[in-house]
Structures are given as structure tokens and as C-alpha cells.
Amino acid sequence: MPGSSLWLVPPPSHPLHARIAELIERTLPSAFPDLTGPAFAPHMTLTSGIDPAVYGDNPQAWLDAVPWPRAADVDVRLEKVATQDTFFRRCFLKVAFEKGVRDVAALARAVGVNGEGYQIGPVTEKWLEEWREAFGPHVSLIYGENPINDQKLGEISKAVEEAGVSLSSSSSEGANDTSSKQGGWKGGVVWLVPTDRPISEWKPIATRTLD
């Protein structure tokens, strides 16, 4: 994947951080060895394709200078398990495209790729609509080469819910209840990751916890 990426990682203390990591690293590879590829940290990608020249030789200072939204305003709500015929989106948790998630992704794109500074300009607004239409916010579960049919997708969905991840599209609970019932999380930690390296080397070079 060219350039670097900005991720939003669940708060380390939130139950979903450990539950999604367990699914990625052990549960799904054990149950579906023919489908799963390399492991990676649990995250929602905010944007990719960031030229390293943007943050230069002090990535932490660059990341800290961005006026990120407050943690209370970023509500990541998991909707359903989905698949696309793309290695990096072979299987993922679809995230609701709501204001807080939209805002943090838009800011990441504007400052990291589109050169619009801390303002959300027309280039980023156009990108948001294209991104939403193509695949939108999501938390990956599987990177892999092999297609996932409906039967396997149903089995993966069952494994996800058995792991304690609540999906709003299959729950009778209201959207406002999902975070407390592990159907999502508020806030998180923004990671700056050089994703032009091998996946095994995808580690943050700067992090910023949303306050």
C-alpha cells in the first residue's frame, strides 16, 4: 500500500480492542485457515496514501498539531460483517457513516492527502462521498486472496458475535446503546503508520489519543 496511513485504533482499555485482536490473530485464522492472511492491529483506516514528506522528520509533532475531534464526539458503531473482492477488504466490520466518524476521516484526508490544511474543503467533501459509496469506514478482520461466499460470511458473522462483538444490524438495541454493549467505541487512538512497508512491519511512528 503506497505511502502512510492514519488509523483510528480502539482505546487499549476498551473490551473491543482485545476482542477484535483475538479474532484477527487467532479465532478466524484457526476456523478459516484457507481465507485468512497476515495479522494486523485492530483499526479503522481514516485515510491512506499520505506522502512521508507531509509529516517530515517529526511525525509526532505533525500528528499532535492536528485539531482532532473530542473523543466524546467520535462514536464508532459497528453495523455488520461484510466482504469485498479486494485483499485489504476481504472481510471487515462495516462502520456506520455518522457525523463523528465522518469528521475524523475528513480531517485526516484533508490534512494528510488533499493539502487543505485543517479545513474540510471541496476536494475532501468529494472524496468523502466517493469513499462512502465505494466501501466507507470499516474495521478489517481478514486480509486475504480467496473470495468469501455467503455461507462463510455467515459463519464469520457468528464467530464475531460469539466473541462478544455486538452488531447493530442484527441487534434490537438502539444505536445509543451499542458502545456500552461492545457494539462500538468512543474516541480511540490515532496511529500514523508507514503502510508502504510489509504488513508485518506495520507499526505506528506516532500516536495521538483523542481527549
Catalytic annotation, residues:
43, 138
Return d(Cα 120, Cα 114) in angstroms, integer.
10
45 forms beta bridges with: 7
Residue type, 142: I
Could you tell me the maximum CA-CA distance found in the chain, to the nearest angstrom?
A: 49
Which 3 state secondary structure label does DSSP give 19?
helix
CB 4 within 8 A of CB 195: yes
Q: What is the DSSP string of 64-113?
A: HHS-PPPGGG-EEEEEEEE--SSGGGSEEEEE---HHHHHHHHHHHIIII
- Grid cell locating 38: 497476515
179 and 14 Cβ atoms separated by less than 8 Å = no
